Amino acid sequence: MADTDDASLGVPRWVTAVLPLMLLLVVVGLFLATNPLAGVESGSPLPDVAITYVEVPNSDVMVVHVVNNGPEPVTIAQVLVDEAYWDFRIDGTGGDTTLAPREQARIVIPYHTTQGWDFDITLITGDGVTFHHTVVAASPTPGLTVDLLETLALIGIFVGVIPVALGMLWFPAMESLSPRWVHAILLFSAGILAFLAFDAGFEAFEIAADVPGFLDGRLVVVLGVLGALLAVQAVSAWQEAGAGETSGLWIAYLVALGIGLHNLAEGLAIGSSFALGRVALGSFLVIGFMLHNVTEGPAVVAPLTRAERPPTWHFLGLGVLAGAPVIVGGWIGALAYSPTLGTLFLAIGVGAIIQVIWELAKLVDREGGTATSALNIVAFGVGIVVMYATDILVAI
């Protein structure tokens, strides 16, 4: 080992730390100045314009949200609707029709749409490249109003807060069970969470396809999952280091957090569906969400059954943490629909849930049970099946 005290090779340590970066800058500068690859470069990068989504504020106009994913500026020269050249105006590019790399814009098309019909939109760039998007079963997007926010809050209360609270009412019954059955219920909860992890994970990858190309949606998912997993693990480890061991209440809060993040994503889906006029949220669907989410209640309170019963306000806190994010998610989804945000929230939920599953298994083992006993494995499986069965009711 070199002497690390003050200097190596006779220069200060900070110089050795910065030197590689300095050299890199010099190489880049030389490369740009001399362009040694000029002979092998051919053609230019392909233009890439993504149509992220289309709003139909009313039956007389369509608003196309676009982003330039390519490395070069792109000029939107003409717009076709149903294979007919049509009027348009581009907002958000500072007056011209050219999108800089990574620049976003709105193309406003005055067009008399008919609800329920498809409309094919084609953008033609200055060099004749075309980009397509089909508005499927056009439906007026309601726009942001106080009414909409109230409606979303009401839906959030029905599909998030109430079912989780009702599910938590199983707590007294769960308390009276033997440790063996309490462990089974903890694993049942883990099964529920495992299902949610897959559910949200698949959905994250689905929405990731709409994330602007330069951000790479799939890596946003990876970032979200790993980031959340490590963050929750770090917080958990820090708490464990302080308290000596992880308390049931702490795990209950972690479970509530994981479920809350999942419900936030659920709210995002509902909110953005509303914002895009995509879904008529019928009573059937609301009931489906309630049945689906009522199973989350016992999952939240299961870790508390072995310890002393905490004060009531904790139950309130747990319920709000797990259920209320549906409301927040709904608002975010309606206010600022973005596939990137949706993907990130879903991925964060998945990461948190994975960590909580691990935490539940540790809890069972620490209490003298075996997480992998036959009964517990069956309970885990039952949790997954119950979620699958109730999930059928909420397929949007």
Partner 1 sequence: MQPLDYERAAAMTETLQDQLVAAIEDDIDRRTILKAIGGLTAAGGAVAGTAAGAGGHNGDGAGSYGFEDNGHFAEVGEYRDRSFDPHEFLTTFNTGRDGQDTVDQEVYEEDGRTVRHYQFTAAKTTVTIAPGIEFPAWAYNGQVPGPTLRAVEGDLIRVTFNNLHVHDHTIHPHLRNLNPAMDGIPSNGPGSIDAEEDPFTYEWIAQPAGCHLYHCHSLPLKAHLHRGLYGAIIVDPDPDRVREHPRDYINYHGPMTEDLRDSLVARAKSRNHEAPENDAVNEMVVVMNGFDTNFDGDNEVYAANTRAFAYGLADTDGEGSWSGGQTVHPITVDKDTPQRIYLINTTEFDPINSFHSHSQFFDYYDHGTTLYPTHSTIDTIMQCQAQRGIVELDYGDHQPGLYMFHAHQSEFAELGWMSFFEVTG
Structure tokens belonging to residue 88: 């348009």
User: To 10 degrees, the CA torsion angle through 210, 214, 215, 221?
Assistant: 60
Which CB sits closer to partner 1, 162 or 393?
A: 393
Which residues 204-223 are close enough to bind partner 1 by CB under 8 A? none
Q: Which part of the chain contacts partner 1 (CB under 8 A), choosing from 163-171, 193-201, 274-282, 330-338?
A: 274-282
Phi and psi at residue 170, in whole multiples of 5°?
A: -75, -10
Q: Is 80 helix (H, G, I), strand (E, B) or coil?
A: strand
Task: Tell the residue number behind the tokens 């717009």, with chain if given.
Answer: 79
Residue 279 within binding range of partner 1, rule CB under 8 A: yes
Contact residues for 301 (Cβ-Cβ < 8 A; gap 6+): 168, 170, 171, 174, 252, 315, 318
User: Smallest distance from the beta carbon of 121 to partner 1, in angstroms?
Assistant: 12
Q: Is 315 helix (H, G, I), strand (E, B) or coil?
A: helix
Within a 13 Å sphere around the CA of 164, how many CA atoms are in the beta-carbon half?
28
Binding mask 12-51 for partner 1 (x = CB under 8 A): ----------------------------------------
Which CB sits closer to partner 1, 113 or 376?
A: 113
Q: CA nearest 279: which of 158, 141, 149? A: 141
Residue 170 within binding range of partner 1, rule CB under 8 A: no
Q: Which part of the chain contacts partner 1 (CB under 8 A), choosing from 7-15, 82-90, 155-163, 208-216?
A: 82-90
Applying CB under 8 A, which of residues 28, 30, 100, 136 lies at the interface with partner 1? 136
Residue 58 within binding range of partner 1, rule CB under 8 A: no
User: Smallest distance from the beta carbon of 118 to partner 1, in angstroms?
Assistant: 3
Residue 120 within binding range of partner 1, rule CB under 8 A: yes
Beta bridge partners of 75: 98
Which CB sits closer to partner 1, 31 or 284?
A: 284
Q: CA nearest 104: which of 168, 148, 31, 52? A: 52
Applying CB under 8 A, which of residues 54, 81, 168, 207 lies at the interface with partner 1? 81
Burial status of residue 227 (CB atoms within 10 A of its CB: 0-12, 13-18, 19 or more): middle
Applying CB under 8 A, which of residues 31, 202, 238, 284 lies at the interface with partner 1? 284
Residue 392 within binding range of partner 1, rule CB under 8 A: no
Residues in contact with partner 1 by the rule CB under 8 A: 59, 81-84, 86, 112, 114, 116-120, 134, 136-137, 139, 279-282, 284-285, 396
